[in-house]
Structure 1
C-alpha cells in the first residue's frame, strides 16, 4: 500500500524518497508513511511521521528537502523502535530522492 503516490502534478512541488511505504518532502513539510507490525499488542498499523518546518528557518531547494527528510526519517525510526515495529521499510541513514522536483534526472 502506497499512501503518497507520485504523479505529474505532485512531482512539480514534491520530492519523493525511498523510505518506509512512501515518503515525500515539499517546501516546508516532510511526510513518511510506514508499516508497523507489533508483537504486543499483536496488530498491524500504518504510521505517518510528519515534520513541518517553521517559515523562519531559511532553507530552500534540495538542501531543505533532503534535510527535512533526514530528520523525519530519524524520528520515524525512533518511534518505530519504541513501538517495537517490524517490517517498517525505513531506510538506515539518509533516504535517497527517487523522483519529483529534486529527484534524479
Structure 2
C-alpha cells in the first residue's frame, strides 16, 4: 500500500504503488472498489480504500525485498494463517460482500 501524493487520485496511487512494489502494471479503468476501512490506532485514524482487478500485465514479484522476501498468489479461501489482524478483517468483510467496516487496533 501507499500514500496518495499531492494531486494524485486514489486510482493513480494504486497504479503507481503496484508497479513500484510488485512489478505489475494495472489500469485505473480496470479497478473495482472492494472495501473501505475506517481504522483507529493509538497514533490516529485513517480511511483505507481497497480495490480489486482481474486484469494486469507483468509477473508478480517483490520489488522491495527488504520488506517482502517473496510474494505469492493465494486463492481467496485458502489464505495463510499469518495474516495481520487488519488484513484478516478486511478479507472477511470482502468475502461477506460488506463494502464498509470499522476496525480498532488500539
Which TM-score applies when normalising by structure 2?
0.28
State the structure with more CA Rg: 2
Which TM-score applies when normalising by structure 1?
0.28
Higher relative contact order (CA 8 A, sep 6+): 1
